[in-house]
Structure 1
Amino acid sequence: MVSGRLNRLLSKASSLTRRSRTGPLLVGTSTLAVVLALVGFTLEKTNEPIARQPSLLDLLEEVGRDRPRSTTLQGDAPQPPEATAWVSPLKRQCSNIDVSLQQRLQTQRSQLAQLRRSVPADDSNFGDRWRSNPWGEKLNPVPRVVVLHETVYSLNSALNTFLTPHPRDEDQVSYHTLVGLDGSIVDVVDPLKRAYGAGYSAFHGEWAVTNAEFQGSVNNFALHLSLETPGDGQNSAGRHSGYTPRQYDALALVLDDWLERFQFPASAITTHRHVDLGGERGDPRSFSWEELQVRLAALGRLCDA
């Protein structure tokens, strides 16, 4: 569990937000947890004994616990079908770094907080990360895979969809972050929450069944990022003109942030096409792994790959 001082800070922040719901800024405990995970949390000197810093799992526990289920199902949860093994196109790279690219990305990385904007999705379009399934089996909710998508239509069209309430489970959809053609970064769902970016899906033979009425999905342990589709791709064709250099810059910066915060390897960056078990998804179309390779290498993310 987290320290007593952190709990008091969280309680204080929660009480402050309850008193300022009519104000322009609303920062809940889940947002505070994201800030703590992003910038790290250093306790002021105190006489209290401190065993350790709060872990990611501690922070997830603070965001919210499983909602009580009316019943626990008998038997075992369904297992995912066999899926194609993921072999990451990203290669280890410690040298031959583009210095000008490296300088540009490092400058942008220092400004990342200012480059991002938040447009929260409607509450119906995301949920908590579950710690147990309907059969009472434990689930690991820690994010450990990134699934790349594309919007198909404009970024604003995607945002309008996420901002629209969807009371029916089958209509609910969201990503954690969107990246526009101009390189804009829009955060839609708190990374500690579960976005509904993939339906029937698995990664490395793993899924989580969080609702017995639906098949398993990677959503409980995935981060979802979607690239805005260019105008000539607003159709069902197999390819389009591709994404812009600014998009690849912004994509690399968001991935760099997530890799640092959640401590999983770059090889766990995959695509909706790969995790989809229904064979219906082909996104992101025309994606260049080479463009991502040079940028993650410039950010120092592939030397230990």
Structure 2
Amino acid sequence: MVRVPLNRTLQSAWQRCRRHPWATVGIMATAAVGTSAVIVLSGSSGSPLQADGRTSLLELLEQVSRERGQTQDVAPIGSSPQPPFARSWSSPLSRQCSGIDPAVRRRLESLLHREASWRATVAIDPTNFGVRHAEDAFGQPLDTTPRVVVLHETVYSLNSAVNTFLTPHPRDEDQVSYHTLIGLNGEVLDLVPPTKRAFGAGYSAFLGEWAITNKRFEGSVNNFALHLSLETPWSGANSNSSHSGYTRQQYDAMALVLSDWIKTFNLPPAAITTHRHVDIGGERSDPRSFNWSALQSRLAALGDLCVAEAP
């Protein structure tokens, strides 16, 4: 939920404009500041001129696109638009079958036996989650099986996040939720059943895949993702790039939650990623100060990293 600096937001705006050039033409044609932008661009280009000596806005947009080495794919009629790019993901988690810390294993096993004391279910408002769609907004079939875990942070307190999810949000653009939330003291709150769709990431994709379930919005991973969020420490109640980090209790509880999801949905550890990675617009940077080594040692102790690596 953490926004990133202005330069990445401007990059996001460029991507959106490139994907919807005609809408951009309309905006630029009616904006007073558009005149100066045209002068700057046309002065540095060899674009053909219109009859009145001016380069058309559409030609300018196409020229900038060519200069960036980017092309816009036009989807066939009736098909679903494709994500703008497929960003590769190199998981920080590695295969581990030995070197297990027995103290970590004993602590996690003991914690698991006391799960009822630190894990609870909270019924959030039904406007903040939904069903996993079997078809996209264009009638194309979708695989609803959870196959990616997206890690987040709350920025503010656990109670603040829960209150947001308990509040009705009739407008689609205001709806937000995670499947599971983990407090600083290791308290786990299950908010959305894994079989349902939480609204954890907006404009997003993972390994070149997204799902458009509403034509009014761009695609996201929500239809096939599981979302887990960590309560942010007090030092992170801002938009800084880092904070003091998460607690040992949070990493312990998170490992147990993830271990359960890995076994239930047959997920490879490499399917665990971050909001920052799946966010196409470049506007999110969470979870900040995440310690992958802490998660590695715990998942290894639970036996979830001693798996064959994908070819």
TM-score tier by shorter-chain length is 0.7 to 0.9
Secondary structure at 2:229's aligned position in 1?
Answer: strand
- After TM superposition, list the pairs within 5 Å mapping 1:81-100 onto structure 2: 81-100=84-103
Give me the whole-angstrom Cα distance separating, in 2, the residues matched to 1:87 and 1:251.
Answer: 21
Q: Which structure's CA Rg is the greater one? A: 2
Q: 1:229 aligns with which of 215, 232, 244?
A: 232
Residue 146 of structure 1 corresponds to which residue in structure 2? 149
Cα deviation per residue 1:21-53 (whole Å; 9 max; x = unaligned)?
xxxxxxxxxxxxxxxxxxxxxxxxxxxxxxxxx
Are 2:255 and 1:252 equivalent residues in the alignment? yes
Structure 2 letter corresponding to 1:303: C
TM-superposition CA deviations, 1:198-250 (whole Å, max 9, x none):
00000010000000110000000000000000001000100000000000000
- In structure 2, what is the equivalent of residue 162 of structure 1? 165
**Match for residue 127 of structure 2 among 124, 133, 136:** 124
1:52-111 CA-partner distances (Å, limit 9, x unpaired):
xxxxxxxxxxxxxxxxxxxxxx61111001132011000000001000111111122233
What is residue 32 of structure 1 aligned with on the other side?
none
2:211 aligns to what?
208
Match of 1:199?
A: 202
Q: Which amino acid aligns with 2:224?
A: F
In structure 2, distance between residues paired with 1:120 and 1:87: 35
Q: Aligned partner of 1:188: which letter?
A: L
Q: How does 1:37-186 map to 2 (within 5 A)?
A: 75-186=78-189
Aligned twin of 1:301: 304
- Separation in 2 of the partners of 1:261 and 1:109? 16
Which protein has greater RCO, CA pairs closer than 8 Å, 6+ apart? 2
Match of residue 274 from structure 1: 277
Letter in 1 for 2:241: G
Identity %: 65
Deviation track 1:133-191 (CA, whole Å, cap 9, x = no partner) reads: 12111000011110000000000000000000000000000000000000000011111
Give the equivalent residue in structure 2 for 1:11: none
Contact 1:83 1:277 in 2 (8 A): no
Is the 2:101–2:297 Cα contact (8 Å) retained in structure 1? yes
Q: Which stretches in structure 2 are left out of the alignment for 5+ residues?
A: 1-76
Unaligned runs of 5+ in 1: 1-73
TM-score, normalised with respect to structure 1? 0.75
